[in-house]
């Protein structure tokens, strides 16, 4: 019974990942790219966790892969956010009194 539940969760996560990728490719904006990276990182981590639990003896190395995917998604989001802030026209402007 537990295997059936894990398979159902895996399929739902996989459909979520595919739908997010399809929606992101149809919307060719910069914000959709970040959304795809975040969803693929977190959903990929969840997929590897479900795969790790569904193995006959649970494979804890797969959990490390999930952790790496989550860390890469977080790092990419942070770098992208800093890059957008540096490029925004408001970032270089300061008020006349010198306050940011």
* 18-46 per-position pLDDT tens digit: 887 787 777 766 666 777 777 777 888 88
CB 69 within 8 A of CB 48: yes
**pLDDT, mean of residues 54-80:** 82
Residues in the chain: 100
Is 93 a residue whose pLDDT tops 60? no
Give the pLDDT band (50/70/90) at residue 77: confident
**Residue at 48 is within a domain:** yes
| 99 band by pLDDT with thresholds 50, 70 and 90 | low
Q: Residue 86 corresponds to which tokens in the numbers above?
A: 């540096």
* Structural domains of the chain, count: 1
> Range of 24's domain?
2-83
Cα angle 26, 35, 10; round to 5: 95
- Look up the pTM and report it: 0.65
* pLDDT score, position 30: 60
Q: Is residue 98 part of a domain?
A: no
Domain assignment of residue 59, yes or no: yes
Q: Is the pLDDT of residue 11 over 90?
A: yes
- Give domain status of residue 45, yes or no: yes
Inside any domain, residue 44: yes
Q: How many CA atoms lie within 13 A of 26 on its CB side?
A: 6
When computed from its CA atoms, the radius of gyration of the chain, rounded to whole angstroms, is: 19
Mean pLDDT in residue range 59-79: 82
Domain annotation covers residue 60: yes
Q: Does some domain include residue 43?
A: yes
92 falls within a domain: no
């Amino acid at each position: 019974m537990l295997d059936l539940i894990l398979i159902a969760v895996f399929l739902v996560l996989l459909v979520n990942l595919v739908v997010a990728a399809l929606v992101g490719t149809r919307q060719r904006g910069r914000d959709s790219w970040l959304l795809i990276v975040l969803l693929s990182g977190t959903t990929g981590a969840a997929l590897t966790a479900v795969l790790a639990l569904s193995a006959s003896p649970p494979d804890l190395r797969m959990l490390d892969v999930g952790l790496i995917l989550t860390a890469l998604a977080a790092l990419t989001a942070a770098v992208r956010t800093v890059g957008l802030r540096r490029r925004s026209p408001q970032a270089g402007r300061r008020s006349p009194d010198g306050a940011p």
